[in-house]
């Protein structure tokens, strides 16, 4: 098993459709012991029920916008795990109203919030957990999307946050490489998640991807999970600072042919 004896923390599981849950399931299958976080009592019960079957797992409260929460989480992980081998960062947020209309109308508060939750949180979590990973062949992965590279309708400020996140991956990779820690991102294709539900036209987006992607289908949660295991394991020990697309090849398409175009409506 690729992660036998490894210990890691997964930040961002909300429900069974979460991409983070797909990665967590794959990591547990490969032998990892996992810590999960939840934000607020509203999500605690559902996440608790979800992770219950994963043997040896623990559940911790965490609001990534609060430094005290991050510090407390790191202290608990030190007591419970002594050290950790990986971090899965899968949190992002923007105000729903900031995803509609024109990007030029983004509010100052909305811009700052999206950057704080979606990009800076990776920096804050990495800094807090680094003492538990330093000197080990550890791995950090985060989740991005094509909207961080190209303009995607109804993605707006979140696309700018994902662009910042991808650059954060590169700077962290340069910082942490000498300490033995790798940092990478998965740019996943669209998947039906709680976050995706807030994007207008999401069903049409799924239809376009499945129509024109080289594999002519949408990516699955399980496929993203397996890619996550690759990046967390020693199989990718020479890979850092990368953004790996797991989207059935959609990102390579510049123009689709008429016969491959999605139906109108």
Catalytic-role residue among 38, 111, 120, 155: 155
Q: What CATH number should be reported for the domain holding residue 170?
A: 3.40.50.720
Average pLDDT over residues 14-39: 95
Q: Is 155 a catalytic residue?
A: yes
Question: Is 2 part of any domain?
Answer: no
Residue 201 is predicted with a pLDDT of 65
Question: Is 125 part of any domain?
Answer: yes
- By residue range, what is the domain housing residue 95? 7-260
Percent of the chain residues topping a pLDDT of 90: 79
- For residue 57, pLDDT beyond 50: yes
Question: Is 25 part of any domain?
Answer: yes
- For residue 52, pLDDT beyond 60: yes
Residue 203 is predicted with a pLDDT of 75
Catalytic-role residue among 38, 111, 120, 145: 145
Q: How far is CA 187 from CA 43, 147, 235, 247, in A?
A: 25, 9, 19, 7
Question: Is 206 part of any domain?
Answer: yes
Q: Is 111 a catalytic residue?
A: no
Question: Is 265 part of any domain?
Answer: no
Average pLDDT over residues 9-19: 93
Question: Is 194 part of any domain?
Answer: yes
Residue 264 is predicted with a pLDDT of 44
- For residue 260, pLDDT beyond 90: no
**Domain tally for the chain?**
1
Average pLDDT over residues 6-19: 94
Give the confidence band of 145 by pLDDT, cuts at 50, 70, 90.
Answer: very high
Of 98-102, 107-111, 157-161, 170-174, give the lowest mean pLDDT range: 98-102
């Amino acid at each position: 098993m690729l992660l036998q004896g490894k210990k890691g923390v997964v930040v961002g599981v909300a429900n069974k459709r979460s991409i983070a849950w797909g990665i967590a399931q794959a990591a547990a299958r490969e032998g990892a012991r996992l810590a999960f976080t939840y934000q607020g009592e509203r999500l605690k019960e559902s996440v608790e029920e979800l992770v219950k079957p994963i043997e040896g797992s623990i559940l911790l409260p965490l609001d990534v916008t609060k430094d005290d929460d991050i510090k407390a989480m790191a202290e608990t992980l030190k007591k419970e795990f002594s050290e950790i081998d990986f971090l899965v960062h899968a949190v992002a947020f923007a105000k729903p109203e900031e995803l509609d209309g024109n990007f030029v109308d983004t509010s100052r508060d909305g811009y700052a919030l999206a950057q704080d939750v979606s990009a800076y949180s990776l920096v804050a979590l990495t800094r807090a957990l680094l003492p538990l990973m330093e000197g080990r062949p550890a791995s950090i992965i985060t989740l991005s999307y094509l909207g961080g590279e190209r303009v995607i309708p109804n993605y707006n400020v979140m696309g700018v946050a994902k662009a910042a996140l991808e650059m954060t991956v590169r700077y962290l990779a340069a910082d942490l490489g000498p300490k033995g820690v790798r940092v990478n991102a998965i740019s996943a294709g669209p998947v039906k998640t709680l976050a995706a539900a807030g994007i207008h036209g999401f069903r049409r987006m799924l239809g376009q991807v499945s129509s024109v992607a080289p594999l002519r289908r949408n990516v699955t949660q399980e496929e993203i999970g397996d890619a996550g295991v690759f990046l967390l394991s020693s199989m990718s020990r020479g890979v850092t600072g990368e953004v790996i697309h797991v989207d059935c090849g959609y990102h390579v398409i510049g123009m689709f042919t008429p016969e491959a175009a999605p139906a109108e409506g």
